[in-house]
Amino acid sequence: MSGDTALSGDATSSKVGPQIPVVVLAGFLGSGKTTLLNHLLHHSGGSRIGAIVNDFGAIEIDAMAVAGQLGDSTVSLGNGCLCCAVDASELDVYLDKLTRATQDGHAMDVIVIEASGIAEPQELVRMVLASENPRIVYGGLIEVVDAAEFDATREKHPEVDRHLGIADLVVVNKSDRVPDAERERVLGAVRAAAERAAVVHASYGRIDPELLFDCRPTRERIGQLSFDDLYRGDDLDRGDDPHRGGAHDGHLHAAYESLAFVSEVPMEPRALMDFFDSRPEGLYRIKGYVDFGAADALNRYAVHAVGRFLRFYPEPWPTGEERLTQLVLIGAGIDTEALRKGLDACRSGATSDAPHTVDQHGMWGVLRYVQDKGDADEVEDFAGGPGPA
């Protein structure tokens, strides 16, 4: 989900370092949450994953050692339902512990909270959004669904539709247990219920970790990142490269396409928001920086989207930094050429020969997606209809 880290921070966060995305991992009993978390730990590419789990026993300690994260990196609640066991201030204590934990002097790259199979994800999301911890940023909700049990689960627990409705990324897991045609049918039903969430299918939770956070295999994260690091995402669809390995095993990436976009010309805020608001379903990951030119000459805007979740994080332009817009878009079944043209059309002056004038109110649409404490209230809106993201 989020997120990623990339998320990097707003002006406040620059005082405390980059913000750490906190991803909520939910799904009904036995859908494969722990399996997915173990997969992430095995394929973290050197990224440091902190986890808050209900059942520590089920997490593979070996995998955590591989990922270089023993010690303070996991908090176990050990008593069933996270949302019942923990109130917001207790969660803050756990988050505080994880955000202070370091490995070789480096902070966590992402924190995953695994909800118990019966937890209401909405409650957890609200608690994360309401957290007072300045080092974290909400990184999205992943909902895991059992492909073979979807109909039965939905019959027994109609609230599954509500959970899908607030998810940012839905993983239709256990694909191996159903024939292709059945998998497609379930994917269709899930997409219909999940509104604009990204929907991917997987076996044994084997999703691409890049969907949730920026892996740290070679260099630094997006937060401080050079464009080369961002561009690394452009390799995602070259899954047949035999030299790639570890977190980038070809099969994980084969289904994804990505697009890297760079512009020296600032982006026009209104046009870019129209582009984001109408982004196609298959486009489930956007990361990078936007230069809005004179509309905000002081700040660049780190952008982070996972599924329907979209946030901008303004931060002062680093001294001497070239003013560029740099975006990476990742999705499945997306028309990268059409997306590139769409982004080209958002460049200032792209639609008119007249000299560019600053649209006084153009930034309002962007500022709706800058995180503030009002975010916690939006969770209700997510459940009831299209929220701001």
Ligand X SMILES: Nc1nc2c(ncn2[C@@H]2O[C@H](COP(=O)(O)OP(=O)(O)OP(=O)(O)O)[C@@H](O)[C@H]2O)c(=O)[nH]1
Minimum distance from CB of 49 to ligand X (Å)? 16
What residue is closest to ligand X based on CB? 117
* Interface with ligand X, residue 203, by CB under 6 A: yes
Task: By CB under 6 A, name the one of 29, 70, 152, 294 that touches ligand X.
Answer: 29
Residues 106-165 that bind ligand X (CB under 6 A): 117
* Interface with ligand X, residue 35, by CB under 6 A: yes
Residues 156-185 that bind ligand X (CB under 6 A): 173-174, 176-177
Task: By CB under 6 A, name the one of 2, 8, 13, 31 that touches ligand X.
Answer: 31
3-state secondary structure the chain: CCCCHHHCCCCCHHHCCCCEEEEEEEECCCCCHHHHHHHHHHCCCCCCEEEEECCHHHCCHHHHHHCCCCHHHEEECCCCCHHHHCCHHHHHHHHHHHHHCEECCEECCEEEEECCCCCCHHHHHHHHHHCCCCCEEEEEEEEEEECCCHHHHHHHCCCHHHHHHHCCEEEEECHHHCCHHHHHHHHHHHHHHCCCCEEEECCCCCCCHHHCCCCCCCCCCHHHCCHHHHHHHHHCCCCCCCCCCHHHCHHHHCCCEEEEEEECCCECHHHHHHHHHCCCCCEEEEEEEECCHHHHCCEEEEEEEECCEEEEEEEECCCCCCCCEEEEEEECCCCHHHHHHHHHCCECCCCCCCCCCCCCCCCHHHHCCECCCCHHHHHHHHHHCCCCC
Q: Which stretch binds ligand X (CB under 6 A): 5-13, 32-40, 343-351, 352-360?
A: 32-40
* Interface with ligand X, residue 388, by CB under 6 A: no
Task: By CB under 6 A, name the one of 20, 33, 129, 306 that touches ligand X.
Answer: 33
Minimum distance from CB of 221 to ligand X (Å)? 27
User: Which is nearer to ligand X, 47 or 54 (by Cβ)?
Assistant: 54
* String of contacts with ligand X for each residue 292-331, x by CB under 6 A: ----------------------------------------
Rule CB under 6 A: which residues touch ligand X? 27, 29-35, 117, 173-174, 176-177, 203-205
